[in-house]
Structure 1
């Protein structure tokens, strides 16, 4: 049984991580004895020709795509192309958007044969077995599918013990490309969320009961990821600090092993204490992101956040005192938002900034499955668009009675401009020779990332990164080991629309950091991205 898993396109501006959900699915499928191939459209361009070659080579018996709301259109496009190339391949769509839009998707998109709902590992394995055995799908738990003229839905409660899950199979994912782009790698230590925020689907997606992984297994995974050369691990739990015993157990295991790794996490402001934060810092935590959402006490009550501004201030200060960088996230355009509540949020953000805590703004995206979208008549809110590609939370797709979408857009745009001004200042100082490497690094790394990403999406290495050993072309370079890099730099300069000096710096950086490697086999010099997974 062969299963193709698809990670749809996701913009680099959103700082994508290697697809953890697909890695867990791949691990479950491989543990069941199945062969898995991952098509990652985030770090490689999608095309019909590449897809056709992949289908011909791998010959999948089942194809599945994951998607969040803003990526569902591309996931549907890829599945549509699979059906066009080979109508006999059963297709499945999973992820939060598909979970809460299963009936609509099955009614509107014939390229989707089934939807996996909620946590997908057990459901996808069961579906793959059913496809292999040609048995009825109504015995597969946790899916939705068409049966004649109706949609059949089956249920599956969340897995009680996360330690029963096979480890994520990251060896099939192009981790080296994410590493080359400077993206963090994500992992989880728990699943579940007991809170009822009206703008979030977390509780419905993974259950209200929080389930925890064995801290020893957690730290073993962190150690494996560190050996890959990732400079940052993101603990993507909704509530890493909610269970103090679990949090401290993970931190103590890190310290007992002497593991030196930087990591970040998410937390609620009402779940952090000095003892916990001190242990997290000693264990390598550098940043904690807090969803504060609003600077208005009235709004916090309305969205059922269950926190106070005083708790937020205290959490920020505790982080700063313990040497952890706190980051506060706010959502504009929540139900009932007015010019006054908006001003309170901006003022509170400035207060935190003056304390030394960073903050950022997003705009409400009423995702399918949220209480806001499902009970829209209850809230003072108008949805302006159902173009899912616009649900990236950086531009308004909602209007409240008191705040126009243009007002919210202007706040986010100004925040983006402030970031651009900060980078421009670094650039000016760097040009005058006034920066050291550390100060210049945010801009320099961004420049490297832009060039490297362009190389990936134009398939420069695959199309132009090889030549005969005895080629006598006019490429510049010195004899010996430097020549392959010089030839690659010249070809990149010909193909990419970036300054030559910036291209050279990015490629030299990629070679030095072992993101790119060159080999000589069968009379050919070949460059390739370093993709290997270190076990």
Structure 2
């Protein structure tokens, strides 16, 4: 039996140029699934990543027309959901007898909505896919009843069936390092805001997240760790395979959730003398002494999800990190030479202008000590507490579907992802627009806009000197504001 796993393109994807600063991250979920299935079955597994340059401007039908798979597995985020549905419809038209299975952070949280609105999709995998897709593939291959497969939703006699949840996957070290890809296809670069682009590779050292932030579709899943040795074995493998690798991006949802685990990973890196730089994401509750070890092991940037400077809002959104901790951790990072990116959002439930002022004050203080602030508007994702609140406040109408066409002028004005609803509560759209412009003014005044903007100004100035008349229009105030606002939007999913 053959299985094809598919990554849809982002709505604005037009291919990525490997010579630019753009990074094309490997589709980790599909690589993990493929590696696990290949290890435990004799099935033929293929991956189609429509983000790759080679598929740009090539019709999906042309790519798939000779595919003889029995199962097509499609992953998606909420941002790519419509592209995933388009692909599912085209596959079903080409191969009506095939099984179309969807999963990933979007589909897993809205199985009923998906199956009731998209008839081309046969099955939705709820939760992580390794165990479930293995069971499902074996059942389909054997002609067995789907009721034996845990963790799926499907239709039977026009009724949507939700099988019991799959057990939590514990065997993270049982997933082999996936090697069937070329670095030329997935050029990955990281910037430390001071130097040129750095050739990098992404690695995951854990799954799940112990935190339950009300806006995040990925939280609340039991936190599990890969063994530190296995993690660094993978880094070392990629460093030897791709000779140019100089940095690692840890894609864990909260890399520092287990300080003992981080300590062991750091010691593995140091003891093996890998001499790499690395990035991670964290809450601002890291033990300060751990930061010293992380720096010694090569950590040069941490992204912190701060969200708000208001203690009231931090408690409301289940962030529960004291503002004092945030400043202390950022100051420590600055003192020892770790760049800190700090993510803020506004328009949380019951947030007022007073709360926003506290956020802007904290942003300014962090900017003054060298942090790089990023600012956006709270978005609504399926499966989150914020989604439930949005329904209760009629921010989302009762008959809302994630598969109805959605595009808002407000999203465009605020420079956020265009097809994801915003949580608009106490702060009106006009207030949010003024807040964003105030943020831009503050960042320019404090000279804490990131290096990308500085580089842009330099490029435009050179173009003007070279006699390019169109470059002068870049210095139009509105264009500058729009550019910076687009760079400030966190777009985290």
Q: Same fold (TM over 0.5)?
A: yes
Q: In the alignment, is residue 404 of structure 1 matched against residue 389 of structure 2?
A: no
Give the drift of 1:6: 0.8
The superposition leaves residues 66-108 of structure 1 with CA deviations (integer Å, 9 ceiling, x where unpaired) of: 0010101101101110111111111101011111110111111
Is contact 2:380–2:423 with CA below 8 Å preserved after alignment?
no
Give the drift of 1:23: 0.7
Q: In the alignment, is residue 425 of structure 1 matched against residue 457 of structure 2?
A: yes
Q: 1:219 to 1:188 in 2, by over 3 A?
A: same
The 5 Å alignment of 1:360-439 reads 360-376=374-390, 382-383=395-396, 387=405, 393-394=416-417, 397-398=421-422, 400-409=424-433, 411-412=435-436, 415=440, 421-427=453-459
Q: Which residue of 2 aligns with 1:157?
A: 167
The superposition leaves residues 153-190 of structure 1 with CA deviations (integer Å, 9 ceiling, x where unpaired) of: 221121134223x224241x454233177785432111
Q: 1:347 to 1:383 in 2, by over 3 A?
A: farther
Q: Which residue of 2 aligns with 1:480?
A: none
Q: Which residue of 1 aligns with 2:144?
A: 135
Q: Which residue of 2 aligns with 1:35?
A: 44
Is contact 1:70–1:388 with CA below 8 Å preserved after alignment?
no
- Paired with 1:328 and 1:45, the residues of 2 have a C-alpha distance of 35
Is contact 1:381–1:398 with CA below 8 Å preserved after alignment?
no
Partner of residue 223 from structure 1, selected from 236, 241, 245? 236
Q: Alignment partner of 1:200: what SS?
A: coil
Q: Alignment partner of 1:239: what SS?
A: coil
Is contact 2:209–2:219 with CA below 8 Å preserved after alignment?
yes
Partner of residue 241 from structure 1, selected from 227, 247, 256? 256
Is contact 2:228–2:264 with CA below 8 Å preserved after alignment?
yes
Q: Which residue of 1 aligns with 2:342?
A: 328
Structure 1: runs of 5 or more not aligned: 434-535
The 5 Å alignment of 1:123-522 reads 123-154=132-163, 155-164=165-174, 166-171=175-180, 173=181, 175-179=183-187, 185-204=201-220, 207=221, 209-227=222-240, 228=242, 229-270=244-285, 272-376=286-390, 382-383=395-396, 387=405, 393-394=416-417, 397-398=421-422, 400-409=424-433, 411-412=435-436, 415=440, 421-427=453-459
Q: 1:140 to 1:44 in 2, by over 3 A?
A: farther
Q: Which residue of 2 aligns with 1:466?
A: none
Give the drift of 1:421: 4.7
Give the drift of 1:58: 4.0
Q: Alignment partner of 1:144: what SS?
A: strand
- Paired with 2:58 and 2:288, the residues of 1 have a C-alpha distance of 56
Q: Which residue of 2 aligns with 1:490?
A: none
Q: 1:71 to 1:168 in 2, by over 3 A?
A: farther
Q: 1:202 to 1:233 in 2, by over 3 A?
A: same
Q: Alignment partner of 2:153: what SS?
A: strand
Q: Which residue of 2 aligns with 1:102?
A: 111
Is contact 2:256–2:282 with CA below 8 Å preserved after alignment?
yes
- Paired with 1:2 and 1:48, the residues of 2 have a C-alpha distance of 26
The superposition leaves residues 362-412 of structure 1 with CA deviations (integer Å, 9 ceiling, x where unpaired) of: 21111000011124355x672499656778945783354431234434555
Q: Alignment partner of 2:344: what SS?
A: strand
* Root-mean-square deviation over aligned CA pairs: 2.9
Which deviates more from structure 2 when the two are superposed, residues 26-35 or residues 60-69?
A: 26-35
Q: Which residue of 1 aligns with 2:27?
A: 19
Give the drift of 1:119: 0.6
Q: 1:49 to 1:400 in 2, by over 3 A?
A: closer
- Paired with 1:191 and 1:388, the residues of 2 have a C-alpha distance of 31
Give the drift of 1:230: 4.1
Structure with the larger helix share:
1
Structure 2: runs of 5 or more not aligned: 17-21, 191-198, 466-493
Q: 1:125 to 1:410 in 2, by over 3 A?
A: farther
**TM-score of the superposition, structure 2-length normalised?**
0.79
Give the drift of 1:288: 0.6
Is contact 1:367–1:373 with CA below 8 Å preserved after alignment?
yes
- Paired with 1:312 and 1:88, the residues of 2 have a C-alpha distance of 54
Q: 1:158 to 1:354 in 2, by over 3 A?
A: same
Q: Alignment partner of 1:178: what SS?
A: coil
**TM-score of the superposition, structure 1-length normalised?**
0.73
Give the drift of 1:15: 5.4
Q: Which residue of 1 aligns with 2:127?
A: 118
Whichever of the two has the greater Rg, that structure is 1
Q: 1:26 to 1:369 in 2, by over 3 A?
A: same
Q: Which residue of 2 aligns with 1:65?
A: 74
